Amino acid sequence: MNGDQIAQLSYLALLGAAIVMWFVTQNRLSLGKTVQMAAAWVFIFIGVIAVIGLWDDIRSTVNPAPQMTVSDHQIEVPRSVDGHYYLPMRVNGEPITFMVDTGASQIVLNADDARRIGIDPGQLNYIGRASTANGVVRTAPVRLDSLELGPITDRNIGASVTEGDLDQPLLGMEYLQRFSNVQFSDGRLILSR
> pLDDT averaged over the chain?
86
The arithmetic mean of pLDDT across residues 90-106, rounded, is: 90
pLDDT at residue 60, as a whole number: 62
Residue 141 and residue 83 in one domain: yes
Domain end call among 61, 92, 108: 61
Question: Helix or strand or coil: residue 163?
Answer: coil
Residue 74 and residue 96 in one domain: yes
The span from the CA of 34 to the CA of 26, in Å, is 10
Domain end call among 61, 79, 108: 61
Residue 74 and residue 56 in one domain: no
Domain end call among 61, 84, 107: 61
Residue 76 and residue 165 in one domain: yes
End-to-end CA distance of the chain: 64
Residue 111 and residue 30 in one domain: no
Residue 136 and residue 100 in one domain: yes
Where does the pLDDT of residue 33 fall: very low under 50, low under 70, confident under 90, or very high at 90 and above? confident
Question: Helix 31-53 to helix 55-62 angle, to the nearest 10 degrees?
Answer: 70
Residue 151 and residue 168 in one domain: yes
Residue 57 and residue 77 in one domain: no
pLDDT at residue 148, as a whole number: 92
Where does the pLDDT of residue 66 fall: very low under 50, low under 70, confident under 90, or very high at 90 and above? low
**Within 10 Å of residue 159's Cβ, how many Cβ atoms?**
25
pLDDT at residue 161, as a whole number: 93
Residue 76 and residue 28 in one domain: no
pLDDT at residue 59, as a whole number: 65
Residue 187 and residue 160 in one domain: yes
CATH of the domain at 108: 2.40.70.10
Phi, psi for 52 (deg, rounded to 5): -65, -45
Enclosing domain of residue 89: 69-192
Q: Which amino acid is at 134?
A: N
Comparing CA positions, the residue from 58, 59, 79, 60 lying closest to residue 68 is 79
Residue 84 and residue 36 in one domain: no
Report if pTM > 0.85.
no
pLDDT at residue 118, as a whole number: 93
Least reliable range by pLDDT among 52-56, 140-144, 157-161:
52-56
Residue 49 and residue 74 in one domain: no
pLDDT at residue 82, as a whole number: 84
- The region that residue 187 occupies, defined by phi over 0 for left and psi between -120 and 50 for alpha, beta otherwise, is left
The arithmetic mean of pLDDT across residues 158-185, rounded, is: 89
Q: How many domains does the chain have?
A: 2
pLDDT at residue 23, as a whole number: 77
Dump pLDDT digits (tens) for 144-163: 999 998 888 999 999 999 98
